[in-house]
Amino acid sequence: MPNVKAIVFDLDGTLIHSAPDLQLAANAALHAIGRAPLDLATIISFIGDGVEALVRRALDATGGADDALFQTVLAHFLDVYAQNVTTHTRPYVDVIAALEQFRAAGIPLGICTNKPTGPARAICEQLALAPYFDVIVGAEPGQPKKPDPASLLASIKALGCDPDQALYVGDSAVDYQTARNAQVRFRHFSGGYLNTALPELGDADRFDDWAKHGITPTGRCPSNLL
């Protein structure tokens, strides 16, 4: 894989298994309005487009909601989630070892996630991931979410890189589409929350074990954040 001078990672389903805490918060918010809980596989199928989409899908799956109810349940979800960002959430096996390798190679690293910036940063702090990253770009009110390329391009720029010098690593079709929209190379972690097939990718473009990520950095971008 030529010319990898910076790496940007998706967060949920790529670096961390966060679905159990998203399920905890979603089910608490559903319970408060008398709805039945959702199982983990169902919650996983709702992850990837941000918390608003997750809550909207959870409500649609349990009887629907008008906009006022949606806003109430979203606020409750965010409240419970803020208290539980790492109750069950952990990095995937061998993620830390991989990050150590990339850091030893001296290349700048970033995160670009559809999770809101607050919980994304809190998780990275609490799981001791934050020191590896030069930039963490999360979802912000009023800003377009992935697959819009803006947040990925902003992460790469913050690392002092051009798009053709960077690699994006993600678990979902949203991430793949984001990389395409930004014209950034993509590597697929297939051990996460993929919920749409990616037939255009070959075996050489994916990995399901962080001990076998197959990414070899070549030089480094001149990040002024390092």
Ligand X SMILES: O=C(O)COP(=O)(O)O
Catalytic residues: 10
Site for ligand X in 153-212 (CB under 6 A): 172
| Cβ-proximal residues to 215 (8 Å cutoff; 6+ apart), any chain | 1, 4, 7, 98, 102, 167, 169, 187
- Choose the one of ligand X, Mg ion, none that binds residue 17, judging by a C-beta under 5 to 8 angstroms depending on kind: none
Site for ligand X in 111-150 (CB under 6 A): 113-115
The verdict on 13 binding Mg ion (CB under 5 A) reads yes
- Choose the one of ligand X, Mg ion, none that binds residue 114, judging by a C-beta under 5 to 8 angstroms depending on kind: ligand X
| Cβ-proximal residues to 167 (8 Å cutoff; 6+ apart), any chain | 1, 4, 6, 7, 8, 184, 185, 186, 187, 215
The verdict on 12 binding ligand X (CB under 6 A) reads yes
**How many angstroms separate the CA atoms of 178 and 184, rounded?**
8
- Closest contact distance (angstroms) between CB of 162 and ligand X is 23
Which of 12, 43, 74, 168 forms a contact with Mg ion (CB under 5 A)?
12
- Choose the one of ligand X, Mg ion, none that binds residue 54, judging by a C-beta under 5 to 8 angstroms depending on kind: ligand X
Cβ distance to ligand X smaller for residue 114 or 223: 114
Q: Three-state SS across the chain? A: CCCCCEEEECCECCCEECHHHHHHHHHHHHHHCCCCCCCHHHHHHCCCCCHHHHHHHHHHHCCCCCHHHHHHHHHHHHHHHHHCCCCCCEECCCHHHHHHHHHHCCCCEEEEEEEEHHHHHHHHHHCCCHHHCCEEEEECCCCCCCCCCHHHHHHHHHCCCCHHHEEEEECCHHHHHHHHHHCCEEEEECCCCCCCCCCCCCHHHEECCHHHCCCCCCCCCCCCCC
Contact string 68-97 vs Mg ion (x = CB under 5 A): ------------------------------
Site for ligand X in 13-52 (CB under 6 A): 13, 47-51
- Closest contact distance (angstroms) between CB of 92 and ligand X is 13
Contact string 147-186 vs Mg ion (x = CB under 5 A): ------------------------xx--------------
Total of chain residues touching ligand X, rule CB under 6 A: 14
The verdict on 55 binding ligand X (CB under 6 A) reads no
Total of chain residues touching Mg ion, rule CB under 5 A: 5
Q: Which residues of this chain interact with Mg ion, rule CB under 5 A?
A: 10, 12-13, 171-172
Binding site for ligand X (CB under 6 A): 10-13, 47-51, 54, 113-115, 172
